[in-house]
């Protein structure tokens, strides 16, 4: 739903700027809202949007195609503009300290049971470090 809302909202905001009626006031699902109505010019869709009057989020949006039934696109039942407690953003204990990310040599040792000193990567051949752009050919 978030993706649809992200794509739909900027276009909807643009349509509502050209609203032919001044916004009215209604209460929807306990929210005091400003009601906007507009018509999408290409498809001739009638759009009605209820936005919470104080902070502005969309509470409800209806769309009516020409000669068709009205469909509700968005309907908010519960919303709070209160600041979220900091505790919900605290990572669990095991995620607080940085985790060791094994090197390629350590992964080699773990995967093969061999010593990590025996690892020779694509950038290291015969004990000599190669530049990042060097090509390695094996026959």
Query: What are the pLDDT digits (tens) for 2-29?
Result: 444 444 555 666 666 666 566 788 899 9
Q: Report pLDDT for 120.
A: 74
pTM of the entire predicted model: 0.51
Residue 39 lies in a domain: yes
Whether 9 and 71 share a structural domain:
yes
Beta bridge partners of 128: 125
What total of structural domains would you count in the chain?
2
Secondary structure (DSSP) of 5-55: HHHHHHHHHHHHHT-SS--EEEEETTEEEEEEEEEETTTTEEEEEEEETTT
Whether 8 and 57 share a structural domain:
yes
Secondary structure (DSSP) of 55-121: T--EEEEEEE-TTS--EEEEE-S----SPPPGGGGPPPHHHHSPPPPPPHHHHHHHHHSS-GGG---
pLDDT per position in the chain (139 positions), as tens?
344 444 455 566 666 666 656 678 889 999 999 998 888 778 888 888 998 888 888 899 998 999 999 999 889 998 887 888 988 888 887 777 777 888 888 998 899 998 888 877 655 555 555 555 555 455 5
Distance of CA 68 to the CA centre of its chain: 32
Whether 20 and 53 share a structural domain:
yes
Q: Report pLDDT for 92.
A: 81
Q: Report pLDDT for 3.
A: 43
Residue 88 lies in a domain: no
Residue 81 lies in a domain: no
């Amino acid at each position: 739903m978030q993706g649809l809302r992200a794509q739909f909202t900027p276009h909807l905001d643009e349509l509502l700027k050209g609203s032919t009626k001044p916004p009215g006031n209604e209460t929807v699902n306990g929210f005091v809202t400003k009601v906007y109505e507009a018509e999408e010019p290409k498809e001739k869709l009638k759009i009605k949007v209820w936005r919470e009057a104080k902070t502005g989020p969309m509470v409800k949006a209806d769309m009516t195609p020409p000669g068709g039934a009205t469909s509700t696109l968005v309907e908010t039942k519960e919303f709070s503009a209160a600041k979220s407690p900091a505790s919900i953003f605290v990572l669990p204990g095991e995620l607080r300290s940085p985790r060791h990310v094994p090197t390629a040599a350590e992964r080699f040792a773990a995967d093969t049971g061999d010593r990590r000193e025996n690892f020779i990567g694509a950038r290291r051949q015969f004990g000599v470090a190669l530049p990042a752009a060097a090509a390695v050919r094996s026959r």
